[in-house]
């Protein structure tokens, strides 16, 4: 539960930061044309040289990369398919990236770039693959340890649904059926 609350709070904070960074008007003398051809912007970045290209590509990958960890963290499920989690997280990251790019059309000095959507989505997927499986495994081990400790402390069996200080209270009472008068 704590992981979900912290994940949700960090997710909101990160989205506010992304909105502030991406949707601020820029005072520029001229604006480049929008890039609607996939990978054309990456080719142009690579033409600038190694260091500058690495910086620009890293910026694109890192802008939304925390969503790859924060979205599953806010979801809070520990027992979920890795592929389903990766697919959901990557799709959500792509939608957030697309939303940011579409909102940039109304901001002076900002330009739409399809390569930003591709890089942001790749960053989300990469962060998810690198961190989420290990984090979930750690949380599962901790959860199992707490569960084993609580069942050992009460003397109940492994599969018992009783909580720590809860005792059985007998059968559930039933109400006799009363026929309807005709």
Could you report the per-residue pLDDT of 108-121, keeping only the tens digit for each? 888 889 999 999 99
28-82 per-position pLDDT tens digit: 877 788 889 999 999 998 999 889 999 999 999 999 999 999 999 998 888 889 9
| CA–CA gap between residue 89 and residue 83 (Å, rounded) | 10
Q: What is the pTM of this model?
A: 0.77
Which two structure tokens, joined as six digits, stand for 52? Answer: 């500058």
Q: What is the mean pLDDT of the chain?
A: 87
Direct distance between the N- and C-terminal alpha carbons of the chain, in angstroms, rounded to an integer: 53
* C-alpha dist (Å) from residue 51 to 27, 58, 59, 169, 170: 26, 10, 12, 70, 72
| Rounded Cα gap, residues 131 and 123, in angstroms | 12
Is pLDDT larger for residue 83 or for residue 171?
Answer: 83
């Amino acid at each position: 539960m704590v992981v979900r609350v912290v994940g949700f709070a960090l997710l909101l904070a990160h989205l506010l930061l992304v909105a502030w960074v991406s949707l601020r008007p820029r005072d520029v003398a001229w604006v480049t044309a929008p890039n609607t051809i996939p990978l054309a912007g990456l080719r142009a970045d690579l033409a600038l040289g190694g260091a500058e290209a690495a910086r620009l590509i890293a910026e694109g990958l890192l802008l939304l990369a925390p969503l790859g960890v924060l979205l599953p963290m806010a979801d809070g499920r520990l027992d979920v398919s890795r592929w389903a989690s990766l697919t959901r997280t990557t799709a959500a990251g792509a939608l957030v990236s697309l939303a940011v790019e579409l909102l940039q059309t109304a901001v002076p000095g900002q330009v739409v770039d399809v390569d930003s959507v591709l890089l942001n989505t790749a960053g989300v997927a990469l962060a998810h693959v690198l961190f989420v499986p290990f984090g979930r495994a750690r949380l599962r081990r901790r959860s199992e340890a707490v569960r084993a400790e609580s069942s050992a402390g009460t003397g109940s069996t492994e599969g018992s649904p009783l909580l720590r200080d809860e005792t059985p209270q007998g059968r559930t009472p039933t109400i006799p059926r009363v026929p309807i008068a005709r």
